Structure 1
Amino acid sequence: MLLTLTTTHHPATDLGHLLVKHPDRVQSFDLPTGAAHVFYPEADEARCTAALLVEVDPLKLGGGRGRRQSSAPEGFTLGQYVNDRPYAASSLLSSALAKVFRSALRGESRDRPELAATAIPLTVRVPVLRCRGGADLAVRVFAPLGWTVTATPIPLDEAYPEWGDSRYVDLTLSGTLRLADALNHLYVLLPVLDDAKHYWVAPDEVDKLLRAGSGWLAGHPERALIIRRYLAHRRALAGAALARLTALRPDDEPPTDDSVDPAADGAGTTAAHRAPLAVLRREAVLTALRDSGARRVLDLGCGGGALLTALVADRRFTEVVGVDVADRSLALAARRLRLDRLPERQRERIRLRQSALTYRDDRLRGYDAAVLMEVVEHLDPPRLPALQDAVFGHARPGTVVVTTPNVEYNVRYEGLGPGRFRHADHRFEWTRAEFAAWVERVAATHGYTATITGVGDADPEVGTPTQMAVLTRDDRNEETDR
């Protein structure tokens, strides 16, 4: 089985430092089920590709002491030797990743510590992956994590197209992520898509899952499926993992994607799976901040730190401050950012502050920009004037970016009947006219000029799922004009 990892970061050969594998050498490693080899098909400053090739020994795979083969059909004596395990990406490849790239999985690099903490352009290809659920499932599990996913079904026989597709896909992932995040996604999700494990799943697998899923699994829209499959459908282990994962996430932390409440009946088979709204929203906010020229940015109501991670990865933002009222949210954000592992120079750019957004806080004054991403709808309407005064009247950042759900779009989600909001913690959801009126009032009261746009696929009748406003302080505009 084969996996390739490519970057165009300059110089691209820094990939060798991150993986701790020299591009000029082929390195081999013994595995309990065979051997793994790391080599570089291409390596120059413009483009570098690392390949992991795993050779599986069927005798080792079938002869391990105490091992139970989940892939062998019951009653088929040779099933432990005659199967697709040596050829298709599975938990065997996942285990090889954990052994061969151990320090990279932890986000550690002695030679390039700052690069290890930085998102870089990556392309991952797994040419043969068993995907129980088809290509659509591959998109559903990887796309919400920031990947552009191409999953091409492999035909049973190219000479006989009428036979249809096999259960395998050729998977390509492209995105700008930290290498550690990319490897942890693969470590968890390759066996999830295969829906089988080559070893007996014990209780310690829960710890492995939560460790590798730190910072992304709690808010994943397919969280339940991922947990269930990773733990080989062992109900007790899956229940324990879900309970521990829920305990890590504060009740008052806004969900990663408010597209629709997971508890809504029938929710889940919607456009949110086809287009990862959380990723689109985050990219729209980042684009607005970049266009504003901001260098020092506040993430107000930062929750678990999804936006903070993206802000820190962009070097043009010289100071990034996450603000939340819940200390548990800030602890989760610190864990997601891996503050205890970041180099000192990188850590100096980041601040986490506990503060209520409905009270004036002098520590938040003087910043170039602030973000209220999916925050205002979590406040009771009578508290909105206090937020407006604290943010727009007192802190007065040069630019404020606000996103909130468009309630008119809710009719496009299955399971959301009349009067139901996208998440149980939402106190209200605005129509486009209501949002525009609020933005106009805030801008007129506090001296801002506003522009309203949408995020996500636009529906001709009900608009986009998310609405976004960019408010720019008028006196800053006048200074720029002068």
Structure 2
Amino acid sequence: MLLTLTTTHQPATDLGFLLHKHPERVLERELPFGRAVVFYPEATEGTCTAALLLEVDPVALSRHTRAGEGAPLEPYVNDRPYAAGSFLAVALRDAFGTAMTGRSKDRPELADTPIPLVAELPCVAARGPADLPARLFGPLGYTVDAEPIPLDPLFPEWGERPYIRLRVSGTALLRELLTHLYVLLPVLDGRKHYYLGEAEVDKLLRHGAGWLETHPERDLITGRFLRFRELVRQAEAAFGPDPAEVEETPSEPRPRLHDARLDRVAEVLEASGAARVLDLGCGEGKLLRRLIPVPQFRELVGVDVSDRALEIAAEKLHLRERPELAGRVRLLHGSLAYRDSRLRGFGAAALVEVIEHLEPHRLNALTAHVFGDAQPRTVVVTTPNREYNTVFGEDAGLRHADHRFEWTRTEFRAWADAAGAEYGYTVRYEDVGDVHPEYGPVTQMAVFERKVGGV
């Protein structure tokens, strides 16, 4: 599948500075479902076109198809390698993630300037009414050209497939166009290739900020992006009431699972009495943001394997603007799969939705390095409860494409009990979020306490 981005803003080759991809180089990226390539078929002063080509591996797809999904041949014969949808959206975020933030070191003023842009996709999955592309992109100020693709050009009477040639054009900020494509391509498709969990709500709110709240098709976008009623309710609670509707007594929204989980972990860390705390797999710093206002925490250290995540964390925590945090909050680049002497001597550590992102064969190393080498007095671990996935409408599969495994309650406790016994920790368990009478909590949490010593 292919996406091209073209500008005639002069000099047009400045598009390379905005996309952070040099026009004279070819970038190749391996993804869990295939290979993405970024290249420039045209790069002149007058016109510059950047292309994102995605080759999806159908064999790999068949191996990861969930039980009971689709018709008998669906895992092997489908449109996923050819029609743009959620796969292309993931590849777009991976290839142009920095551009989507609107940052450009070499052309900062251009990043904040609307320029003429054209996005073209030769084959897009568009399951819905014929006017759906115009209803989605039109209110955002774009000119939309959607040409249906016939089932067979030689036999037009056979009708059309649910695919279109899509061209979206207008004068806009590049970051806005990329964000709109990232959100709306899966909405057009209506069939995401990965498990939908509460992380999708955060993703929609983050990338929909500033435009989705007032979009006339907000309900349609939210419903097709998230699909499941519980996730849609979480998003609606965050958006607040529809501006077009008047509610006499708006109800108090329930806290989102993501927030409830971080809030509970922060409470446990504070109750531990620790003064020095590690956030292992800190991501964008959401837990650290909750810990910073607590005077008890004299030193807070976030660790993540992603440089980009650490950059975002530093921005959101305003570390540069707050010199008083310089000696108290640190962000470290590192992998939990390797021993790291910088992590020793802390009173507490948290691994919030981290372990499931590791390959299973790396888990023993993480366990040894955290509990056996770093040895914080208190360790808090949260992870999805696989049994609860049925409540979301899936009989099998993982909640997120980046998860390498998910544990049942029995499996999680077996790992935690074994780790505690081997490294001298007692373990207690808590349920976080909604609890189903049969399937248990949506999130399971273990709190490890070292039996002797401590900091």
Assess, with a 3 A threshold, how the Cα gap between structure 1 residues 263 and 57 changes in structure 2: closer, same or farther: farther
Show the counterpart of 2:182.
187
1:96 corresponds to which letter in structure 2?
A: A
Q: Distance in 2 between matches of 1:103 and 1:213?
A: 17
- State the TM-score, normalizing by the size of structure 1: 0.50
In the alignment, does 2:95 pair up with 1:60? no
Show the counterpart of 1:44.
44
Q: Distance in 1 between matches of 2:110 and 2:48?
A: 15
In the alignment, does 2:234 pair up with 1:240? yes
Q: Distance in 1 between matches of 2:198 and 2:109?
A: 35
Q: Distance in 2 between matches of 1:81 and 1:112?
A: 45
Show the counterpart of 2:112.
117
8 Å contact from structure 1 (residues 130, 168) kept in 2: yes
Aligned partner (choices 218, 223, 236) of residue 218 of structure 2 = 223
Show the counterpart of 1:434.
none
Q: Distance in 2 between matches of 1:211 and 1:154?
A: 33
Q: Distance in 1 between matches of 2:178 and 2:5?
A: 10
Q: Alpha-carbon deviations, 1:298-346, whole Å to 9, x = none?
A: xxxxxxxxxxxxxxxxxxxxxxxxxxxxxxxxxxxxxxxx9x99xxxxx
8 Å contact from structure 1 (residues 69, 200) kept in 2: no
In the alignment, does 2:7 pair up with 1:7? yes
Give the alignment of 1:10-29 within 5 angstroms.
10-29=10-29
Show the counterpart of 2:125.
130
**Runs of 4+ residues over 6 Å off in structure 1:** none
Give the alignment of 1:197-346 within 5 angstroms.
197-231=192-226, 233-246=227-240, 261=244
Q: Distance in 2 between matches of 1:87 and 1:134?
A: 21
Q: Distance in 2 between matches of 1:69 and 1:43?
A: 46
Show the counterpart of 2:78.
83
| 1:194 Cα deviation after fit | 0.4
In the alignment, does 2:95 pair up with 1:100? yes
8 Å contact from structure 1 (residues 104, 180) kept in 2: yes
Question: What is the aligned residue count?
Answer: 251
2:164 corresponds to which letter in structure 1?
A: V
Assess, with a 3 A threshold, how the Cα gap between structure 1 residues 110 and 62 changes in structure 2: closer, same or farther: farther
| 1:81 Cα deviation after fit | 2.5
| 1:69 Cα deviation after fit | 8.0
* Backbone CA RMSD of aligned residues: 2.4
Q: Alpha-carbon deviations, 1:438-463, whole Å to 9, x = none?
A: xxxxxxxxxxxxxxxxxxxxxxxxxx
| 1:133 Cα deviation after fit | 1.3
Give the alignment of 1:348-363 within 5 angstroms.
none
| 1:62 Cα deviation after fit | 2.9
Query: Which stretch has the larger CA shift, 207-216 or 157-166?
Result: 157-166
Q: Distance in 2 between matches of 1:3 and 1:162?
A: 29
8 Å contact from structure 1 (residues 68, 198) kept in 2: no
| 1:173 Cα deviation after fit | 0.5
Show the counterpart of 1:32.
32
| 1:263 Cα deviation after fit | 7.8
Percent identity of paired positions between Structure 1 and Structure 2: 56
- State the TM-score, normalizing by the size of structure 2: 0.53
Q: Alpha-carbon deviations, 1:195-244, whole Å to 9, x = none?
A: 0000001101000001111100000010001001001x200000110110
Q: Distance in 2 between matches of 1:246 and 1:118?
A: 30
| 1:161 Cα deviation after fit | 1.2
Three-state SS of the structure 2 residue aligned to 1:101 is helix
| 1:163 Cα deviation after fit | 1.3
Show the counterpart of 1:171.
166
Q: Distance in 2 between matches of 1:163 and 1:63?
A: 33
Assess, with a 3 A threshold, how the Cα gap between structure 1 residues 119 and 68 changes in structure 2: closer, same or farther: farther
Q: Distance in 1 between matches of 2:142 and 2:204?
A: 20
1:240 corresponds to which letter in structure 2?
A: Q
| 1:189 Cα deviation after fit | 0.3
Show the counterpart of 2:142.
147
Three-state SS of the structure 2 residue aligned to 1:135 is coil
Q: Alpha-carbon deviations, 1:405-446, whole Å to 9, x = none?
A: xxxxxxxxxxxxxxxxxxxxxxxxxxxxxxxxxxxxxxxxxx
1:49 corresponds to which letter in structure 2?
A: T
Assess, with a 3 A threshold, how the Cα gap between structure 1 residues 68 and 113 changes in structure 2: closer, same or farther: farther
Q: Alpha-carbon deviations, 1:239-263, whole Å to 9, x = none?
A: 110110127x8xxxxx5xxxxx468
Three-state SS of the structure 1 residue aligned to 2:240 is helix
Q: Alpha-carbon deviations, 1:138-189, whole Å to 9, x = none?
A: 0000000010000011111110111122211100001011001000000000
2:57 corresponds to which letter in structure 1?
A: D
| 1:135 Cα deviation after fit | 3.2
Unaligned runs of 5+ in 1: 250-254, 256-260, 265-337, 342-482
